[in-house]
A and B are shown apart, each in its own frame.
Chain A
Amino acid sequence: MKKILGEFEEVVLLLVAAQHDQAYGFSIKTAIEEMGRSVNLSNVHTTLYRLEEKGLVSSVVGSSSATRGGRRKRNFVIEQAGKVALKEAKDSRLRLWDSIPAFVMEGT
Chain B
Amino acid sequence: MKKVKPPKFADKLFRWYCRNDLYESIIGDLHEQFEYDFKHKGTIKAKLLYWITVLKFYNRFTTSNNQSKETSIMFRNYFKTPVRFLKKHKSYALINIVGLSIGLFSCLLISFFLQHELNFDQQHQNGDNIFRINMIFADNSGSETTYINSPPALVPGIPEMFPEIKRATQLRYTGRTSLRNGHQVYFENHGFYADSSFLEVFTFPLVSGNTKTALDEPNSIVITSHLAKKYFGEKDPTGKLITMNNNVLLKVTGILEPIPSNSHIKFDFLISFETYTVPEGYLSDLTSWWWLGFVSYVELQNASGGQELQNKLDALYREADPDNETPFRTIVQPLEEIYLGSTGMTDDLASHMRSGNKYSIYALAVIALLILFIASFNLMNITVATSLTRGKEVGIKKVLGEEKSKLLVQLLLESVMITFISTVLAYVLFFALFTQIKDLLNWDLELSSTLLFISIPIALLFITVLGVLAGLYPAMLLTNLRVSSALKHGLKTGRGSAWLTNGLISLQFIISVALISSTIIIYQQIQYLRNQSLGFESSYVVSMKLLPQDMRAFYHRFKEDLHQNSQTQSVSRSERILGDPWPVNGILVRDEPDYKQVHGSQVGYDFLNTMGIELKTGRTFSEEFGTDSLGSIIINEACAKHLGFDNPVGEKVQFFDRHRTVIGVVEDFNFSSLHSEIAPVVMIMPFIDLQNMYVKVAPGNLAESLDLIESRWNEVSNGAPLEMQLMDDHMNQLYQNEEKLSLLISGFSILAVLLACLGLYGLIAFMVNKRIKEVGIRKVLGASVSSLLILFSKRYLGLIAIASIIAAPTVYYILSAWLNEFAYRIEFDFSVLLLAASLLAIISLLTIGARAIKTALANPIKALRDE
Contact = CB atoms under 8 A, between A and B. Distances in A.
Contacts of A71: 24-25, 27-28, 31
A87 B300 CA distance: 86
A45 B32 CA distance: 14
B22 interface: yes
Contacts of A68: 28-29, 31-32
A24 B25 contact: yes
Interface of A: prevailing SS: helix
Contacts of A92: none
Given A41-B53, A46-B61, A61 B32 contact: no
Contacts of A80: none
A25 B27 CA distance: 11
Interface in B686-735: none
Interface string B797-830: 0000000000000000000000000000000000
Counting contact residues on chain B (CB < 8 A from A), the size range is 20 to 34
Contacts of A24: 25, 29
Contacts, number: 58
Contacts of B26: 25, 45
Interface in A48-64: 49, 61
Interface centre among A46, A71, A72, A74 (most CB of B within 10 A): A71
A25 B29 contact: yes
Given A25-B26, A43-B56, A49 B31 contact: no
A43 to B, nearest CB: 7
A35 B53 CA distance: 20
A43 B746 CA distance: 63
B86 interface: no
B25 A49 contact: no
A48 B35 CA distance: 22
A34 B522 CA distance: 85
A73 interface: yes
Interface in B18-59: 21-22, 24-33, 35-36, 52-53, 56-57, 59
Contact of A67 (B22, B27, B30, B35): B35
A65 to B, nearest CB: 8
A40 B53 contact: yes
Main secondary structure of the interface of B (DSSP, over half): helix
A16 to B, nearest CB: 15
Contacts of A49: 22, 61
A42 B28 contact: no
Contact of B57 (A26, A42, A61, A74): A42
A41 B28 contact: no
B31 A40 contact: no
A72 B29 contact: no
B57 A72 contact: no
Interface string A61-98: 10000011101111000000000000000000000000
A45 B33 contact: no
Contacts of A43: 56
Contacts of B57: 41-42, 45
B375 to A, nearest CB: 47
Nearest to B54: A42
Q: Which of A45, A49, A74 has the most CB of B within 10 A?
A: A45
A73 B29 CA distance: 8
Nearest to A71: B28
A71 B52 CA distance: 21
B756 to A, nearest CB: 56
Contacts of A67: 32, 35
Contacts of B21: 61
A67 B3 CA distance: 12
Contacts of B29: 24-26, 29, 41, 45, 68, 73
Nearest to A48: B61
A68 B33 CA distance: 9
B59 A74 contact: no
A72 B25 contact: yes
A73 B28 contact: yes
- Most chain A C-beta atoms within 10 Å of own C-beta, residue among B22, B32, B35, B59: B32
A26 B30 CA distance: 8
Given A40-B52, A42-B57, A72 B24 contact: yes
Interface string B226-250: 0000000000000000000000000
Nearest to A29: B33
A40 B56 CA distance: 8
A72 B53 contact: no
Interface in B305-334: none
A22 B61 CA distance: 22
B817 to A, nearest CB: 68
B28 A72 contact: yes
Nearest to B24: A71
A41 B30 contact: yes
A19 to B, nearest CB: 14
A53 to B, nearest CB: 9
A73 B22 CA distance: 10
Given A26-B33, A41-B29, A74 B52 contact: no
Nearest to A53: B61
Interface string A23-45: 01110011000000000111101
Interface of B: 21-22, 24-33, 35-36, 52-53, 56-57, 59, 61
Given A40-B53, A45-B29, A61-B21, 20 more contacts: A29-B33, A30-B36, A40-B52, A41-B30, A41-B53, A42-B53, A42-B56, A42-B59, A45-B26, A45-B61, A46-B59, A46-B61, A67-B32, A69-B28, A71-B28, A72-B25, A73-B25, A73-B28, A73-B29, A74-B25
Interface of A: 24-26, 29-30, 40-43, 45-46, 49, 61, 67-69, 71-74
22 contacts: A26-B29, A26-B32, A30-B36, A40-B53, A40-B56, A41-B57, A42-B59, A45-B22, A45-B57, A46-B59, A49-B22, A61-B25, A67-B32, A68-B28, A68-B29, A68-B32, A69-B28, A69-B31, A71-B28, A72-B25, A72-B28, A73-B29
* 8 tightest Cβ-Cβ pairs between the two chains A and B: A71-B28, A74-B25, A68-B28, A42-B56, A25-B29, A42-B57, A26-B29, A49-B61
